[in-house]
Amino acid sequence: MYIEIKKFLLFCYVRRFGGVVLTEKSIEDLEKLKKRSLKRYRKNLSCIKRLENKIAQLDERMLKIKSTNLSGMPRGGVPITIDDLMSDKLDLENRIKRLKLKSRGLKNEICEEIDSLEDPLQCEVLEAYFIDCKSIGDIAEDLGYTERHIYSVYSEAISILSVTDQ
């Protein structure tokens, strides 16, 4: 069924855009580009989580800093002060703010693309995967379908988005 849908979409694309013929390779390339585009939000969220973990580590380090010990003996290296750590924390917080602003735009853009699909199950699967960051297995469990069926729905939806986007 998946191959039939691809052929039908290819036929519609050729009729719609005046005889431009797409090969299987170019369809696969379109699908890869579409997946990469849809995954931008997920990648952005993982970057935000990574930076939030760094802030938590900085907070722990700030709690562990002790006052300098004046023993009179020379010590190597430059001691890290709370001011240094606070500066690093502020930089990370600013990066997180920028990424969150970017995430809102990406989420809206991706939701618009997903909402352009006619099949509600396809919309639900793509939204759960790309926006809610769920795995195919979790989506299948939540919706009461097999993983194989959800992956098939996912693949069909990506194919439709790839061809209709061009």
Q: Could you tell me if residue 8 is inside a domain? A: no
- Structural domain span for residue 148: 34-63+80-165
For the question of whether the overall pTM of this predicted structure is more than 0.85, the answer is no
In a domain, 69, yes or no: no
Task: Report, in angstroms and rounded to the nearest whole number, the Rg of the chain calculated over CA atoms.
Answer: 24
In this structure, is residue 104 part of a structural domain? Answer: yes
* Residues in CB range of 102: below 8 A, 6 or more apart: 44
Ranges under pLDDT 70 in the chain = 1-25, 66-79, 163-166
Question: For residue 52, is it within any domain?
Answer: yes
Q: Is residue 72 part of a domain?
A: no
DSSP state of 135: -
Q: Which two tokens stand for residue 79?
A: 């001691």
CA 110 vs CA 21, 80, 128, 139, 143: distances in Å: 27, 43, 12, 18, 21
7: which 2 tokens? 């052929």
Q: What pLDDT, on a 0 to 100 scale, did the predictor assign at position 1?
A: 44
Q: What is the pLDDT of residue 106?
A: 92
Percent of the chain with pLDDT over 70: 73
Please check whether residue 11 lies inside any domain of the structure: no
Q: Is residue 135 part of a domain?
A: yes
- CB count within 10 Å of CB 156 equals 20
Task: Round to whole Å and give the CA distance between 38 and 131.
Answer: 9
Tally of structural domains, the chain: 1
Residues 113, 28: Cα–Cα separation, whole Å: 19
For residue 47, being part of any structural domain is answered with yes
